[in-house]
């Protein structure tokens, strides 16, 4: 096992920039030797030039992890949003709560709809994270907790109705989604203003 690791490291070094640069400098040392410049100290010259080349070579940079781009992330989130909608269609909610939830899901659906809006969203990593968290965590957890708590409320009435907490949670999520939509709209507004200034400056 240790031998395999050693062989692997040796192979990596042989292909590295340091070895290639050092080898090129070492060849220069051999050229100096053949031309008689290095004299009897040619081994020292060759080794010295190789070492100098290896030292000045830029370090080997490991490849960056191959993470999915934001557009690919949105495709995955859309698939999960479809699953979420199927789940929500089977949940019995009070009318007012259902309306509030529908407002939220309609906004998320508009943000995720393939097209120019989704392209703007893909350029905002924090926005993608906000939508992903709402779809994959916040909404399903809020609704599932409501369903389970409602059963206990029926067994032990007199407590704060669970739909009140769900409505408060949905209100917070709606506000968060609205802030995101506003931020994306402002991004486009700034883009439009920048283009206007560019055209005006160009015409002067």
Low-confidence winner among 67-71, 140-144, 197-201 (lowest mean pLDDT)? 67-71
Measured CA to CA, the distance from residue 24 to residue 142 in angstroms comes to 65
pLDDT in the model for residue 198: 85
Kindly indicate the confidence band of residue 2, based on its pLDDT and cuts at 50, 70 and 90: low
Q: How many CB atoms lie within 10 A of CB 80?
A: 14
Measured CA to CA, the distance from residue 179 to residue 124 in angstroms comes to 13
Q: How many CB atoms lie within 10 A of CB 170?
A: 26
- Determine the angle formed by the axes of helices 42-56 and 17-34, rounding to 10 degrees: 150
Query: Per-residue pLDDT tens for 141-180?
Result: 999 999 888 876 666 666 677 888 999 999 999 999 999 9
**What's the average model confidence in pLDDT over 68-85?**
87
Check pLDDT > 80 for residue 183: yes
pTM of the model: 0.64
**129 burial type by CB count under 10 A (0-12 exposed, 13-18 middle, 19+ buried):** exposed
Measured CA to CA, the distance from residue 13 to residue 24 in angstroms comes to 15
Would you give the DSSP letter of residue 65?
P
């Amino acid at each position: 096992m240790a031998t395999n690791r050693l062989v692997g490291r040796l192979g990596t070094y042989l292909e590295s920039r340091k070895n290639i640069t050092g080898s090129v400098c070492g060849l220069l040392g051999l050229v100096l030797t053949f031309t008689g410049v290095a004299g009897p100290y040619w081994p020292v010259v060759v080794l010295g030039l190789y070492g100098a080349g290896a030292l000045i070579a830029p370090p080997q940079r490991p490849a960056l992890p191959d993470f999915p781009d934001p557009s690919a992330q949105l495709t995955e989130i859309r698939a999960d949003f479809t699953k979420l909608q199927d789940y929500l269609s089977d949940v019995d909610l009070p009318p007012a709560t259902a309306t509030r939830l529908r407002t939220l899901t309609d906004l998320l659906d508009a943000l995720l709809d393939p097209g120019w809006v989704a392209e703007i969203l893909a350029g905002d990593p924090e926005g993608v994270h906000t939508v992903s968290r709402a779809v994959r965590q916040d909404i399903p957890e809020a609704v599932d907790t409501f369903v389970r708590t409602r059963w206990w409320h029926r067994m032990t009435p007199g407590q704060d109705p669970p739909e009140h907490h769900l409505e408060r949670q949905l209100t917070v999520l709606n506000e968060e989604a609205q802030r995101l939509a506003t931020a994306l709209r402002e991004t486009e507004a700034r883009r439009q203003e920048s283009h206007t200034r560019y055209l005006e400056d160009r015409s002067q």
